[in-house]
């Protein structure tokens, strides 16, 4: 995330899992207003501005959310009125649109000019988990940033690596990986978390790779179910082996 407020783009589309994106944005905004730190260090999280921002009470930040599932005119009218006043660059005003994929056509049209030429001092952050659903006219006005929980493939446990490209590996390859470095009982929930994150990311990016959303959903369903049926002591090997078979099946069946 860019912390330099002088060079922060005025209109940004932040793409990723909503709680994760929201948390990153809150950290950025705290760094703008934190009373105790400069822009080069992290916000303190303790001062009045930091806490008000965390609680969504900071007056200079408007958090917009579609009250009825889709943004309607009433949701944005007040905000549009407010943006008729410019703000000192030192003061800054921020509008955050959660679920920016839920702008209806009429609301999007009302916002276009604003996003095209943001008034002085105003910053707009559009948050979405589904960038494909954003109207192209809106999307073209935003600088895009993607948020990934940072997982480096090279740091993946070799057994987990077997779960990232189902269909390419057969069971014997999985068994070999397992025998070389099995997953301990205590590690299983964390490992499942990692796989869920990886497959959530694949789901969100399924438009740009060869995996379909249906395949991702099928794999996520197996992973989620496994989460609620963690193995009994000693049941690690069969648990992971079964999951490998189920995920391979779920994935290849959706391929047809």
Q: Which is nearer to Zn ion, 44 or 196 (CB)?
A: 44
Q: Does residue 34 interact with Zn ion by CB under 5 A? A: yes
- Counting contacts by CB under 5 A, is residue 76 touching Zn ion? no
Binding segment for Zn ion among 26-34, 76-84, 168-176, 237-245 (CB under 5 A)? Answer: 26-34
Q: Can you tell me which of 13, 26, 50, 218 binds Zn ion, judged by CB under 5 A?
A: 50
Cβ contact 53:30 at 8 Å: yes
DSSP string covering 117-128: SPPTTEEEEEEE
Minimum Å distance from CB 159 to Zn ion? 42
Taking CB under 5 A as the criterion, the residue among 3, 10, 20, 44 binding Zn ion is: 44
User: What is the DSSP track for 27-87?
Assistant: HHHHHHH-SS--TTS---S-SHHHHHHHTT--TTEEEE--TTSSB-HHHHHHHHHHTTS--
Q: Which residues contact 224 (CB under 8 A, 6 or more apart)?
A: 196
Q: Which listed range, 38-46, 100-108, 119-127, 242-250, lies at the site for Zn ion (CB under 5 A)?
A: 38-46
Let me know: does 83 contact 119? Beta carbons within 8 Å.
yes
- Minimum separation from the CB atom of position 240 to Zn ion (A): 44
Of 41-49, 132-140, 164-172, 195-203: span binding Zn ion (CB under 5 A) = 41-49
Count of positions on this chain that bind Zn ion (CB under 5 A):
5
Q: Residue 35 or residue 133: which is nearer to Zn ion going by CB?
A: 35
Question: Interacting stretch for Zn ion, rule CB under 5 A, among 39-47, 119-127, 160-168, 196-204?
Answer: 39-47
The answer to whether 47 contacts Zn ion (rule: CB under 5 A) is yes
Shortest spacing between CB 46 and Zn ion, in angstroms: 6
Query: Within positions 195 to 254, which residues make up the interface with Zn ion, using CB under 5 A?
Result: none
For the record, the structure tokens of 62 come out as: 């408007």
Q: In what order do the strands lie in the sheet with 122-128?
A: 61-64, 93-97, 122-128, 11-15, 143-146
Could you tell me which stretch among 49-57, 102-110, 111-119, 200-208 binds Zn ion (CB under 5 A)?
49-57
Q: Any residues with CB less than 8 A from the CB of 226 and at least 6 apart, and which?
A: 192, 239, 243
Any bridge partners for residue 128, and if so which?
Answer: 15
Burial of 185 (0-12, 13-18, 19+ CB in 10 A): middle
Positions touching Zn ion (CB under 5 A) are 34, 43-44, 47, 50
């Amino acid at each position: 995330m860019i912390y330099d407020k002088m060079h922060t783009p005025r209109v940004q589309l932040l793409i990723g899992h909503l709680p994760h994106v929201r948390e990153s944005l809150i950290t950025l905004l705290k760094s703008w207003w934190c009373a105790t730190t400069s822009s080069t260090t992290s916000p303190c999280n303790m001062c009045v501005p930091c806490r008000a921002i965390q609680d969504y009470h900071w007056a200079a930040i408007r958090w917009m959310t579609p009250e009825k599932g889709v943004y309607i005119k009433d949701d944005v009218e007040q905000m549009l009125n407010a943006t008729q006043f410019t703000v000192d660059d030192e003061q800054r005003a921020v509008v955050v649109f959660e679920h920016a994929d839920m702008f209806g056509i009429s609301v999007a049209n009302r916002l276009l000019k604003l996003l095209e030429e943001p008034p002085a001092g105003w910053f707009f952050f559009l948050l979405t988990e589904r960038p494909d659903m954003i109207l192209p006219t809106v999307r073209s006005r935003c600088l895009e940033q993607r948020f990934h929980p940072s997982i480096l493939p090279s740091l993946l446990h070799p057994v987990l690596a077997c779960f990232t490209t189902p269909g390419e590996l057969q069971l014997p390859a999985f068994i070999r990986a397992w025998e070389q470095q099995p997953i301990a009982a205590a590690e299983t929930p964390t490992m499942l978390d990692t796989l869920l994150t990886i497959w959530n990311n694949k789901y969100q990016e399924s438009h740009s790779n060869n995996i379909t959303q249906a395949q991702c959903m099928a794999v996520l369903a197996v992973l989620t179910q496994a989460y609620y049926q963690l193995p009994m002591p000693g049941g690690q090997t069969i648990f992971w082996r079964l999951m490998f078979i189920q995920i391979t099946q779920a994935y290849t069946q959706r391929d047809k």
